[in-house]
Amino acid sequence: MQQVFTKAMARNIFLGGAVFFLAIYLALSYDTWQRIPERDHADKMTSAVLRGKYLLDSNDCIGCHTVNGEGAYFAPELANVYKRRGPVFIKAWIEAQPTGVPGRRQMPNFHFTQNQLDDLVAYLQWLSNIDTNNWPPNIQG
Amino acid sequence: MKYQSQKVAKPYFIAALALFVGQIVFGLIAGLQYLHGTFLFPELPFDVTRMSHTNLLIVWLLMTFMGAAYFIVPEEAQTELYSPRLALVTFWVFLIAAALTIVAYLFVDYAHLAAITGNAILPTMGRGYLEQPLPTKIGIVLVALSLLFNVTMTLIKGRKTSINLILVGSLWGLALLFLPAFYFPHDTVKASYAWWWVVHGWVEGDWELILGALLGFILIKMTGVDREIVEKWLYIIVAMTLISGLIGIGHHYYYTGAPSYWIWLGSIFSALEPIPFILLIAFSFKMLLQRRREHPNKAAMLWALGTPIMAFLGAGLWGFMITLAPAQYYMHGTNFTAAHGHLAFFGAYAMISLAIISYAMPLLRGRTANSAAAQRWEIAGFWIMVLSMLGIALALTGAGIVTVILQRAADDPMPFMQVQDKARVFFWVREFAGVGFFIGLLVYLRSFFIAGEYEYASEMKQALAA
Amino acid sequence: MHTEASVDSAQPLPGDFAIWIFIFAELVVFGVLFGAYAFARSTHVELFNASQLTLNRAYGFANTLILVTSSYFVARATQSIKAGRGTACGNWLAAALGLGGMFLVLKLVEFHQDFAQGISLSTNLFYMFYLALTFFHFMHVVMGMAILAVVTYKAYAGRYSAANHTGVETGGSYWHMVDLVWIILFALVYVIH
Amino acid sequence: MKLLQTIPLRPCTASWLVLLGLTTITFELGSNAPSQVLMAAVLALTLVKGQLVVSYFMGLRRVRPVWRLVMAAYLAAVGGLIAIAYLTA
């Protein structure tokens, strides 16, 4: 019988398909890279914003919270917390941790200085202005 | 087992199972912290429990993949491993590095750990699954290089089967895709975009190739079906994986700041992502039906056939549920994702790992298959774990539904913590299912301590008597 | 004289079956893309109709003629090799490749004009679909040409014969798929409103 | 389509000429004002063109009926999907 389905052909499709779709993905990523700075207002990333971001990362905030829906689902969304709570509440809240309420989920106290709290708030404010295609659906995140 | 050097896989498999136990313990603690927030606080904050849980998962899966590579590559290449000694040294380096990292998580404050490991010079920490400090990440690269050198040299001097080419090729892909872990741009949107190169690239791309290669190997060995047939199916399946999965990465880009065209492109291509899993099921059962021998290791066959089905449920079905942009708009960042993550990681990667261990461990211990008694324990463990994991996934789905109804899609949305209180019953179900899973794991492990090998004669006698 | 007119309705698909799995997968992808376009339009009819008018339909028309003809040449190449004429097969394929090249040039000119006007994937929903669909198809033409180039080389090198022509049919089937998809794409994106 | 076999040309050559003609008609129709009749006409022409490519270029008229059915179903599904979307706009 004629060989109608050869392994060599299947392998070529695998290799060709992989290269093909990788090329398309790279082309799209190139375009995305050009778009991101205008969508997230990269020009507004001040040094305070960058310091705040470093604090958020080096304290593993996304180990409990989400940022734009990415992270853990143990604590509320942070990307829109600036709009939900405002800067004063956020700083007071962080300083008041842990609440120690029995049985309630606890957030550690990170012993931030006032400057660090300002940096964090600057970063959270920057986060809240990213164009995320109208996500989250409402202010509760 | 045909080659002495394949023995080096044994410590990898044993360590993998030990780390698996650790993963589940942290999972149970994390589940309890959902219900009782002050449990082990402040000694063990939730984020540390979680990173221990997820990092142990990754390490034990990598351990099995490496062990599997050291077991399969020589057998397929029909030659001894290039350097068994290097493989053994690599094992100890990897195990000690992993253990030290977990210990550091548990006993050193995360920000302090970042400070003392040079995170300020090259920031890499604080991203999901990639929480490891810089020295650990460099260690992972070195371990990967050692593995790649060893298996590639083995492949070069031996027979080049398609299984081996796909396996070694995807191990190279695994190492290459880890490199973006060192790229952490200041721009949060770009950072998230690049983070998925590692995470999506691994679990929805490269690892599926590894899964395919391992499953193909097991099926060839256990069913005796012609290699040509298995391998050409394998190529089509992995081709479909990449065709759907490469642009399918777009389903992570809908609501994280990337341009809106990803909403369309990601939805269309990720809608196709279940196809390779359907093909995998069709392929496995076709091979089973065409089998030319009855392998005595029934437990391994069960794992091998269970993998594509559970992978389809977890990655295909649960993944599809949250992948289309309009649905994800409400489900993004809820326990729907956690449900999908648990079922997919277990169904695809934990199960293929247990499948290759189930097939290889008896051989490494000098027998074709374990005794019928041992296999009964293993099969019982299989069912308890599979059903418990389905329970976990359903409970988390329930919690996700609560969030969507009360918080995301409500006219008068409730705050996060109130919603979490409303979902308590589902977190209880999840915890009980988790305990069930742990029992299943213990039952499974019990099977390793039942001595003796499969006795054809006595089994035959019993079958005739019955 | 029409040997092919003898209808024997029990043959398998022409070429290697593996390419057909791929072709069906690709057709499904394009089908979903077409459907997505149509349903996206149904909520933005004015936008789609207005934006569609800015396209130069003549480019789409010319490219359809080119691709249809190219596909025809490949069909002739398949017939040639079935009759054992390897060089004729190679000539038909080379001509088909040349037309494929023309398609790419024309499409690039069109893309260039679009980009010069500042049109991008993010301009609006219509242009997103227009660019994504045509670019995705463009890549398929490149892919198809790569396959045809290999087949052409082998045809000239005498590697195919009347008895062994699976390779020509395999490459040809993929090329016809590229043609088929463009025919629908042309009607949908350039014409129907 | 049986008609094509009565013309003294290779069936694929005849198909090619018909395809060129139908493409020209499609192009000309494009300058009309939007209407559902126009949509239906262009869609119908396109499906005929598609079927010609499938039958005479791909050569599927000589293969097992199941494959012809799959392709015809594909064209019908895509055409139907588009028609529904346009009619419900």
Instruction: Please spell the DSSP secondary structure of A82-141, one letter per residue.
Output: HHHH-HHHHHHHHHH-----TTS---------HHHHHHHHHHHHHHTTS--TT-SSSTT-
Which CB contacts under 8 angstroms, 24+ apart, belong to D37-45?
D38/C192, D38/C193, D39/C192, D39/C193, D39/D83, D39/D86, D40/D83, D42/C187, D42/C191, D42/C192, D43/C187, D43/C192, D43/D79, D43/D82, D43/D83, D45/C187
B258's CB contacts (< 8 A; 6+ apart) are A32, A35, A36, A39, B189, B193
Residues A77, A67, single domain; the answer is yes
- Residues in C closer than 8 angstroms to D49, CB to CB, are 183
Chains contacting B (3 or more CB pairs within 8 Å)? A, C
CA distance C17 to chain A (A): 5
Calpha distance B417→B102 (Å, rounded): 29
A113 to chain C, any CB pair closer than 8 A? The answer is no
- Going by C-alpha positions, the residue among B112, B91, B119, B124 that lies closest to residue B48 is B112
Calpha distance B325→B262 (Å, rounded): 9
**What is the average per-residue pLDDT within B56-81?**
97
Residue of C nearest to D77 (CA): C31
CA distance C167 to chain A (A): 10
CA distance D25 to chain C (A): 10
A53's CB contacts (< 8 A; 6+ apart) are A123, B186, B188
Mean pLDDT, chain A, integer:
94
* pLDDT tens string D23-32: 999 999 998 8
CA distance C92 to chain B (A): 30
Q: Quick check: is B466 in a domain?
A: no
pLDDT of residue D1: 54
Contact, C89 vs C160, CB < 8 A? yes
Residue of A nearest to B244 (CA): A21
Judged by 3 or more CB pairs under 8 A, whether C touches A is: yes
Residues A100, A134, single domain; the answer is yes
Chains contacting C (3 or more CB pairs within 8 Å)? A, B, D
pLDDT of residue B463: 73
pLDDT at C8 over 70: no
Q: Do C121 and B271 count as a contact with CB atoms less than 8 A apart?
A: no
pLDDT at B250 over 70: yes
- Residues in C closer than 8 angstroms to D89, CB to CB, are 41-43, 45
CA-to-CA separations, B156 to B80, B87, B88, B306, D37, in angstroms, rounded:
12, 17, 21, 33, 65
Give which of B112, B188, B330 to mutate to test A binding, by max A Cβ within 10 Å: B188
Amino acid (one-letter) located at B281 = I
Calpha distance B119→A33 (Å, rounded): 25
* pLDDT tens string A9-48: 899 999 999 999 999 999 999 999 999 999 999 999 999 9
C positions 131-160 inside 8 Å of D (CB):
none
pLDDT of residue C26: 92
CB-nearest to B259 from C25, C33, C122 is: C122
Residues B35, B168, single domain; the answer is yes
Q: Do B33 and A68 count as a contact with CB atoms less than 8 A apart?
A: no
pLDDT of residue D5: 62
The residue count of chain A comes to: 141
Q: Quick check: is B465 in a domain?
A: no
CA distance B326 to chain C (A): 13
CA distance B266 to chain C (A): 11
* pLDDT tens string C118-138: 999 989 999 999 999 999 999
Amino acid (one-letter) located at B158 = G
Dihedral of alpha carbons B62, B68, B74, B76, sign: negative
Coil, strand or helix at C11: strand
Residue of C nearest to B260 (CA): C122
Residues B43, B118, single domain; the answer is yes
Calpha distance C18→C24 (Å, rounded): 10
Tokens for B271, please give them.
């809608």
- Residues in A closer than 8 angstroms to C12, CB to CB, are 4
Name the burial class of residue C158, with classes exposed (0-12), middle (13-18) and buried (19+) by CB atoms within 10 angstroms of its CB: exposed
Q: pLDDT-based confidence at C9, cuts 50/70/90? A: low
Residue of C nearest to A14 (CA): C22
B positions 216-275 inside 8 Å of C (CB):
232, 235-236, 239-240, 243, 259-261, 264-265, 267-269, 271-272, 275
Q: pLDDT-based confidence at D8, cuts 50/70/90? A: confident
* pLDDT tens string C52-65: 999 999 999 999 99
Domain limits for position B444: 226-448
CA distance A27 to chain C (A): 10
Residues B47, B138, single domain; the answer is yes
CA distance B322 to chain C (A): 18
Complex-level ipTM? 0.91
Calpha distance B375→B447 (Å, rounded): 7
Residues B168, B283, single domain; the answer is no
pLDDT of residue C4: 44
Calpha distance B376→B414 (Å, rounded): 49
* pLDDT tens string C134-150: 999 999 999 999 999 99
Contact, D43 vs C191, CB < 8 A? no
Q: Do B261 and C122 count as a contact with CB atoms less than 8 A apart?
A: yes
Cis peptide, bond prior to residue A37, ω within 30 of zero: no
Coil, strand or helix at C124: coil
**What is the average per-residue pLDDT within B183-203?**
97
Give which of B134, B189, B283, B324 to mutate to test A binding, by max A Cβ within 10 Å: B189
Interface of C with B (CB under 8 A): 18, 21-22, 25, 28-29, 32-33, 36, 40, 121-122, 128-129, 132
pLDDT at C111 over 50: yes
Calpha distance D23→D45 (Å, rounded): 8
Amino acid (one-letter) located at C124 = N
B98-116 exposure pattern, b = at least 16 Cβ within 10 A, e = fewer = beebbebbeebebbebbee
Q: pLDDT-based confidence at C2, cuts 50/70/90? A: very low
Which residues sit opposite A77 in a β-bridge? A66
Q: What is the DSSP letter of B453?
A: B
Residues A51, A89, single domain; the answer is yes
* pLDDT tens string B363-408: 999 999 999 999 999 999 999 999 999 999 999 999 999 999 999 9
A9 to chain C, any CB pair closer than 8 A? The answer is yes
- Residues in C closer than 8 angstroms to D10, CB to CB, are 2, 4, 79
A1's CB contacts (< 8 A; 6+ apart) are none
DSSP3 helix / strand / coil % (chain C, rounded to 5): 80, 0, 20
* pLDDT tens string B102-124: 999 999 999 999 999 999 999 99
Which residues sit opposite D63 in a β-bridge? C11
A24 to chain C, any CB pair closer than 8 A? The answer is yes
Q: Do C187 and D65 count as a contact with CB atoms less than 8 A apart?
A: no
Amino acid (one-letter) located at C150 = V
Contact, B56 vs B93, CB < 8 A? no
- Going by C-alpha positions, the residue among B104, B92, B94, B90 that lies closest to residue B147 is B90
Give which of B237, B265, B275, B283 to mutate to test C binding, by max C Cβ within 10 Å: B265
Contact, A106 vs A98, CB < 8 A? yes
Tokens for B138, please give them.
């460099």
Calpha distance A70→B194 (Å, rounded): 13
In percent, the amount of chain D with pLDDT more than 90 equals 75
Domain limits for position A13: 1-39
Give which of A22, A105, A134, A138 to mutate to test B binding, by max B Cβ within 10 Å: A105
Residues B174, B237, single domain; the answer is no
In percent, the amount of chain B with pLDDT more than 90 equals 94
Q: What is the CATH number of the domain that holds B439?
A: 1.20.210.10
Say what the pTM is: 0.92
Calpha distance B198→B213 (Å, rounded): 20
Q: pLDDT-based confidence at B465, cuts 50/70/90? A: confident
**What is the average per-residue pLDDT within A123-129?**
98
* pLDDT tens string C145-182: 999 999 999 999 999 999 999 999 999 999 999 999 99
CB-nearest to A76 from B47, B111, B416 is: B416
Q: What is the CATH number of the domain that holds A112?
A: 1.10.760.10
Q: Do C17 and A4 count as a contact with CB atoms less than 8 A apart?
A: yes
Cis peptide, bond prior to residue B45, ω within 30 of zero: no
pLDDT at D41 over 70: yes
Q: Do C13 and D67 count as a contact with CB atoms less than 8 A apart?
A: yes
* pLDDT tens string A52-78: 999 999 999 999 999 999 999 999 999
The structural domain count of chain B equals: 2
Calpha distance A75→A52 (Å, rounded): 19
Q: Do C28 and B236 count as a contact with CB atoms less than 8 A apart?
A: no
Instruction: Please spell the DSSP secondary structure of D36-53, one letter per residue.
Output: HHHHHHHHHHHHHHHHHI
What class is the C57-191 domain?
A: mainly alpha
Dihedral of alpha carbons A101, A102, A108, A111, sign: positive
In percent, the amount of chain C with pLDDT more than 70 equals 95
pLDDT of residue B186: 95
Interface size C-D, in CB pairs within 8 Å, comes to 142
Which CB contacts under 8 angstroms, 24+ apart, belong to A46-51?
A46/A122, A48/A118, A48/A119, A48/A122, A48/A123, A49/A119, A49/A122, A49/A123, A49/A126, A50/A123, A50/B186, A51/A116, A51/A119, A51/A122, A51/A123
State the residue for tokens 């994390």: B30
pLDDT at B456 over 90: no
Contact, B204 vs B273, CB < 8 A? yes
The structural domain count of chain A equals: 2
Q: Quick check: is B40 in a domain?
A: yes
Q: Quick check: is B232 in a domain?
A: yes
Judged by 3 or more CB pairs under 8 A, whether D touches C is: yes
Q: Which of B184, B216, B237 is the last residue of a domain?
A: B184
Instruction: Please spell the DSSP secondary structure of A31-92, one letter per residue.
Output: HHHHHHHHHTTGGG--HHHHHHHHHHHHTTGGGTSEETTEE-SSS-BSTTHHHHH-HHHHHH
H-only helix segments in B179-260: 188-201, 207-223, 227-248
**What is the average per-residue pLDDT within B199-204?**
96
Q: Quick check: is B463 in a domain?
A: no
pLDDT of residue A133: 96
Calpha distance B249→B196 (Å, rounded): 8
Calpha distance C114→C111 (Å, rounded): 5
Tokens for C157, please give them.
């090198």
State the residue for tokens 């007071």: A92
Coil, strand or helix at D63: strand
Residue of D nearest to C61 (CA): D27
Give which of A2, A3, A11, A12 to mutate to test C binding, by max C Cβ within 10 Å: A12
